[in-house]
Amino acid sequence: MQVLVIGCGISGLTTGISLLRAGYSVHIKAKDLPPNTTSNIAAAVWYPYNAFPRDRITAWGKIAFRIFQTHATKPETGVLMRSFLEVKPAPVGDPWWLEAVESFRHATPDELPAGYADGYVFETPVIDTSRYLPYLMQVFQQEGGLITRETVTTLGDALTEYPIVINCSGLGARELVGDRDIHAGRGQTIRIKQNGFQRVIVDDEGPNKLAYIVPRTSDIILGGVDEENNENTSIIPEQNSGILQRCANLAPQFANLKPEDILSVQCGLRPLRSRIRLEAERPVPDRLLVHNYGHGGSGVTLSWGCATEVVTLVKQHTA
C-alpha cells in the first residue's frame, strides 16, 4: 500500500522509515530537504521541552530514547550519549518524565554552578543533526523509500494520488490544513568549535534562563532564545552576547571565547501547539490522513515514538 509523507525533517524521516519497515511503500515530498530543514538547526539533545500533553510525551520519549541509544553505537549516525545536567534555582522533586530515562539522580552540590540549589543528572542522547539527518535519508532510500523536493499545497491532490497521507508538515500545517493553533517559537543558537567540554548543561527556569550547552561530535551548540509568536529568522547580534554570557555563567570554560571560536550563528522556528497533533481521520471513506506535527521543542526527542504510533494508527485504520 502506497503512503505519502509530507515533510522531510526528523518527524517525516523517522515516520517514513518506520512505515517502510512495516511493509508500506513510502514517498516523502517536502518543500525543504536536509540540510535546509528546521530539524537541522535544532541543538537536538533528548529532553522533553515545550510540548504537550505530558501523559503521552513520556511514552513517546521513552521509545525514542531507546532507539537513539542503539544509534549511539554507530559512529556514522552522529549520536552520542552524554551526561546531562539540568540546574534548578531551588530544591525540586523528580521530573515528570523520569520513567523515560536511565541512570537518573539529583546533582551533588559540587556539580552545581553558583546560584543553583538542585539539579537533574542522567545520561541522554545528543543528536548531531548535521550527520543524523543525512544518515536517516540514506537509510530511508536504501530501504526503498523515495524522496522528492516538492511543495504539497493541497491535501486534496495528495489524497487523490495516495490512499494514505501522513502530515509531518510542522509549521506548514497552518496553510496545509488551516490549523490556527500551531505557531512559531523563535530560537537562536551559536555553534562554536569543540573545546573538549563533554557535559550537556541546561537552565530552563533559573537565573540564566534560557541557557544550554550541547557538545556534539565536532562542535558545541550554545543557546538560547525562545520567543513565542516571533517568526523573524534574521540573526539578532545583540542576542549573541546574552547567550555567551549566560553559558559562561553555567560553565567557566566558555567565559573567554574568541571570535575565531564561533563557527556560525543560526536561527530556527519551533512548531509550537497547545498539544501535539497525532491522530488519524478519513476525509473520504477510502482515504486515510494521519497528522503528526506540533512537537514544539521536542521534535527530535519524540520522533521515533511518534513515528511508531503513526504506524499503529495506519495499521488500525487499514486492517
The helix/strand/coil state of 244 is helix
Cell numbers that stand for 208 in this block: 540564566
The helix/strand/coil state of 220 is strand
Q: Is there a binding annotation on residue 298?
A: yes
Q: Is there a binding annotation on residue 299?
A: yes
Q: Is there a binding annotation on residue 153?
A: no
CB 188 within 8 A of CB 260: no
Q: Is there a binding annotation on residue 297?
A: yes
Q: Is there a binding annotation on residue 152?
A: yes
CA distance 35 to 26: 21
Q: Is there a binding annotation on residue 311?
A: no
Q: Is there a binding annotation on residue 212?
A: yes
Binding-site residue set: 38-39, 152, 212, 270, 296-301
Binding-site residue set for FAD: 38-39, 152, 296-301
Binding-site residue set for D-dopa: 212, 270, 297
